[in-house]
Amino acid sequence: MKRSHPRLPLPLETIYLLGALLLVLTIAVFSLQGWLAYEDRSRQQLISQTVRRNTYALLASVIDAETGQRGYLLTGLERYLEPYQRALQDVPVDLERLSQAVKERPDQLARLVKLRPIVAAKLESLRQTIELRRAGDNQAALGLVASDRGQTMMDELRQIADEMDTVSSARLAQQAAEAQTSLSRLTIVSTLGSLGIFGLLLLATATIHREKRRRQELLAIVKAGEQETRRVRDWLQTTLSSIGDGVIATDEQGRITFLNGVAQKLTGWTQELAAGVPLEEVFVISSAETGRATQNPAQHALRENRAVSFAERTLLRARDGVKIPIEDSAAPIRDEQGAVSGAVLVFRDATLRQEAELALELGKKHFQVMADNAPVLVWIADTERSWTWLNKHWLDFAGRGLEEELAHDLTSYVHPEELDEWLTVRQNAFANRQPLSIEYRRRRADGQYRWLLENGAPLHDLRGEFTGFIGSCTDITDQKTVEKRLVRLNEDLNQFAFAANHDLQEPLRMVSSFSELLINGFRGELPDEAELYVGFITEGTRRMRDLLADLLAYTQLEQDENAGQPVDLNAIFISTLANMQSAVAESKAMVTSDSLPFVHGQAAHFAQLFQNLISNAIKYRGAAPPVVHISVARGTGWPDTWEFCVGDNGMGIKEEFRQTIFGVFKRLHGKEIPGTGIGLAICQRVVERYGGKIWVNSAADGGSQFRFRLPVWKAAP
C-alpha cells in the first residue's frame, strides 16, 4: 500500500525565487526588445553603408570607362580600352547591387530610377566615340567628346550620387544615435533588475537558513518512502535501458505490469488490456523453422533467475494473427534485497534484418552466377592476401575443386621469373589499399604456363572498412605471341629496308653514271629520241634513290617512346630553315614561328617532322609567294598536350584526300611536282611514335593547316 504524505505549504524562499525569476524574465523581455531594436538599426546602418559603397563603386566604374575611352581616343591603342571593357562588366553588377540595397528605401529607389538612364546614356556616348575612332573618323569622335553632352551627363550622375550619399550619411548618424539611446535604456533596466534579483536572493538565503531546521523534520517522511522509491527506480532503470525496443515487464508470477509503445504496436495489445494478463497470452511466439511454440524467455529468466536470450529464429504472433520475425531476450527484476520481483522482456522487429540477410545472400548468389559465366578468371581475397573464392572459369583453368585450390600455396603456380614482381605488386597493393595490375605467367592444370593480365581493386564494407580485394585475370598468351611476332616482323622490315637501300644504291649509281657518260660522250651524235630516253633513265634512277632514302628513314623510326632527351623546338626550327635556305630563297617564301616549347624525344625525328611539313608548304604553293607560320597552344580538351599548327597559303587539299595523303607513296599531283610520297607518312609516324595525332584542315585553293598534338614535357624549363 502506498503511503500518503502531508501537503506542505508553499515555502517562503520559493516565493522569493519566483519573484527573482519574474525579474529575470522581465529583464529578458526588455533585453530582447532592445536587442531586436539594435539588430534592426544595425541592419539599417548596413543598408546605408551598402548604398554609399555601391554608389561610389558605380561612379568609379563610369569614371574608369571614361578614362579608358579618352586613352583610346588619344592613342588608338586597344590596351587603353581595358578600363572601359572592365567598366562595362562592372556597371551592371554595381547597378544590381545598388538596386538590392535601396529596395527598402523608396526615396533612394526613386533616385536610382533617375540614375539608370543617365548611366546607360553615358556608356552609349562612350561607345559611339570609340566606334568612330575605330572606324578612323577621329574628327567626329573628338567632336562628340568636345560637346557638353558628356560633361552634363557626368554632372547629373555626380549630383544624384551625392544626394544618395548625403541621405545615407544622415541616416547613419541618426541610426547611431538611436542605437546609443537603446543601449543606455537597456543598461538601466539590466542594472535595476540585477539589484532587485540580488535583494530577493538575499531574502531567499535568509529564509532557507530559517527553514533548515524544519526541513530536517521532513527527512523522516522521506526515509519512509525510500524503499518504495528504490523499487520503482530499479524497475524504471531496467525498463528505460531498452526504450528503443519493445519492452514488457511482469511481476514474479509472470503477469504483465507494463508494455511500452513499441511492445503495444508489435503485439497489438494495449496497456489497459494487457495489465494483469499472463505473459504467454500476450507474447505468443513460435519457431520460424518448425512452427512449433517455443519457451517464453521471460518465464525462463524467472525460473533460472538470470538473463537469457535465444539464437533461434522466432516468430511473434500479434493479437490480429499476423506473425512477425523478432529477436528477444529477458532478465529478472530484483529488489534491494536481491529477491526476484518480476521480469523484463526486450524484443525487436527483425523483419528488415532478415530481409537484408536474404538480399545479401541472393546478391552473393547472383554475383557467383555472373562471375562463373564471365570469360575471365575472377578471385576474391581477404586482407591477408589469401584467396577466399574463385569462379568456375578459374577452377577449370587450375583443374581443381574450390577447396583444393584454396588450400594450395598461391606462389606455387606463378612462373619463377615473375614470382618476385608478382608478390611485390600484390603486397604493395594490399598494404596501400590501391588497385593492382600486373602481367605474369601461371601454370595450368596441364602443366603449361599461360600469360595472365591480373587486375584487382580493394573492397570495403558499408562502414568503409577495408575487407579485402576482388580481381580478375585475363588470358593474354595469344596477345603476347602476336606482340612478339610483330616485334620480330618490325626488326625484319628494318633490316630489309636497310639492305635494300644499301644493295640497290650501287646499281642505281651505275645506271645514272653511265647514262650521264652516254649523253656527255655522244652529245650531238645521238638522235633526239635517244637523248630523251636517257633523260628518263636518269630521272628514274634519281627518284628511285630518293624513294629508297625516304623508305629507310621511315622504317628506322624507333618505337621506344622513352628514348630521347629534352628537345628545343626553336633550335629545330632554326636548323630546319638553314637546311632549306636555297628552297626558301628560290620560292621567296616567308617562314615564321611562334615561340616553341621543349618536348621530350629525339631531335632528328622532330627535324624530319618540321622539314617535311615546311617543304610541302613551299612545294605545293599557289600563285603568290609561300607564307608559312608555325603556331602552338595548349590542346583544346587535351590539357596535357601541345597543339601545333603549320599553316600556309598554298593550293590546299580537297576533303576526300585529307586522310589518304598520310599513307606511304600517296601523292596527289603525279609527276607535276617532284616527291616520293613518304614525307607525310614520316610525319605521321613521328607524331604517333610520341603518343600524338596529326591531321589537316584545308580547303581547295584556300591554303592548308597541318595540325598535330604532342605530350607536354613535365620537366620542361
DSSP string, 640-678: EEEEEEEE--SS---GGGTTGGGSTT--SSTTSS---S-
- Determine contact, residues 263/273, Cβ cutoff 8 Å: no
Stretch 698-715: mean pLDDT: 79
pLDDT of residue 437 exceeding 60, the answer is: yes
pLDDT of residue 535 exceeding 80, the answer is: no
pLDDT of amino acid 510: 63
Stretch 515-533: mean pLDDT: 66
pLDDT of amino acid 235: 64
The per-residue pLDDT of the chain, averaged, comes to 76
SS3 state at 10: coil
For the ranges 249-253, 396-400, 590-594, the maximum mean pLDDT occurs at 590-594
Specify the fold of 12-199. Answer: Four Helix Bundle (Hemerythrin (Met), subunit A) (1.20.120)
Q: Which of 420, 422, 511, 432 has the alpha carbon at shortest distance from 469?
A: 432
Stretch 152-176: mean pLDDT: 80
Q: Which of 582, 573, 632 has the alpha carbon at shortest distance from 607?
A: 573
Q: Which of 300, 302, 269 has the alpha carbon at shortest distance from 283?
A: 269
pLDDT of amino acid 542: 60
- Burial of 203: CB neighbours in 10 Å, binned 0-12, 13-18, 19+: middle
Q: Which of 208-217, 275-284, 373-382, 638-647 comes out lowest in average pLDDT?
A: 208-217
Q: Which of 6-20, 392-406, 420-434 comes out lowest in average pLDDT?
A: 6-20
pLDDT of amino acid 490: 60
Dump pLDDT digits (tens) for 317-370.
888 888 888 877 777 887 767 777 788 878 777 777 777 777 767 777 777 787
Q: CA 552 to CA 687: how far, in whole Å?
A: 18
In our burial notation (b when 16+ CB lie closer than 10 A, e otherwise), range 638-647 reads eeebbbbebb
pLDDT-based confidence at residue 570 (cuts at 50, 70, 90):
very high
Dump pLDDT digits (tens) for 479-510.
878 777 766 656 555 555 554 555 455 565 66
461: left (phi over 0), alpha (psi -120 to 50) or beta: beta
Superfamily of domain 562-711: Histidine kinase-like ATPase, C-terminal domain (3.30.565.10)
> What percent of the chain has a predicted confidence (pLDDT) above 70?
74
pLDDT of amino acid 368: 75
pLDDT of amino acid 598: 92
For the ranges 182-186, 392-396, 641-645, the maximum mean pLDDT occurs at 641-645
Q: CA 345 to CA 296: how far, in whole Å?
A: 9
Q: CA 698 to CA 654: how far, in whole Å?
A: 7
Stretch 605-631: mean pLDDT: 85
pLDDT of amino acid 311: 56
Q: CA 150 to CA 66: how far, in whole Å?
A: 9
Superfamily of domain 356-475: PAS domain (3.30.450.20)
pLDDT of amino acid 10: 58
Higher pLDDT, 119 or 539: 119
pLDDT of residue 173 exceeding 60, the answer is: yes
pLDDT of residue 714 exceeding 90, the answer is: no
Q: Tell me if 356-475 shares its fold with 562-711.
A: no
What's the N-to-C CA distance of the chain in angstroms? 96
pLDDT-based confidence at residue 559 (cuts at 50, 70, 90):
very low
Multiple choice CATH, 243-349, 1.10.600.10, 3.40.50.620, 3.30.450.20, 3.40.630.30: 3.30.450.20
Going from the C-alpha of 409 to that of each of 265, 397, 414, the distances in angstroms are 56, 16, 10
Q: Which amino acid is at 202?
A: L
Q: What's the predicted TM-score (pTM) here?
A: 0.35
pLDDT of residue 699 exceeding 70, the answer is: no
Domain residue limits, the chain: 12-199, 243-349, 356-475, 481-551, 562-711
pLDDT of residue 591 exceeding 60, the answer is: yes
